[in-house]
Copies of this chain bind each other. A is one copy, B any other.
């Protein structure tokens, strides 16, 4: 059986917190990868060029901003987007962030 890591009630996440969490290149990369992944990913499966301490910090930031959910499976943590909940709280925000860059 798997448990999940504690996560905030979306109602208590402010827009500022959400934007703050998204306003970082590394975390943006994680969110994009999660959005295109068919299933939850282990933290280590991202090709991030940072130490595991830093990586853990970024995943924590995303989780505490209500953007991701973390399931504990053995020694791994399976991370996924809280798509529906987040969309309900901040309609359109993830879509806008995930939209392909408009090149002019």
Interface size on A, residues (CB 8 A): 25
Q: How many chain copies does the complex carry?
A: 2
In the complex, A104 Cα to B28 Cα: how many Å?
Answer: 26
Minimum CB distance partner of A100 in chain B: B91
Are B19 and A97 in contact, CB atoms less than 8 angstroms apart?
yes
Q: Does A58 contact B (CB under 8 A)?
A: no
Among the 9-residue stretches A10-18, A39-47, A49-57, A73-81, the one with 4 or more Cβ atoms under 8 Å from chain B is: A10-18
**Residue A72 interfacial (CB < 8 Å):** no
Residues from chain B with Cβ under 8 Å of A91 in the complex: 96, 99, 102
- For residue A23, CB closer than 8 A to chain B, the reply is yes
Contact B15 A28 (CB under 8 A): yes
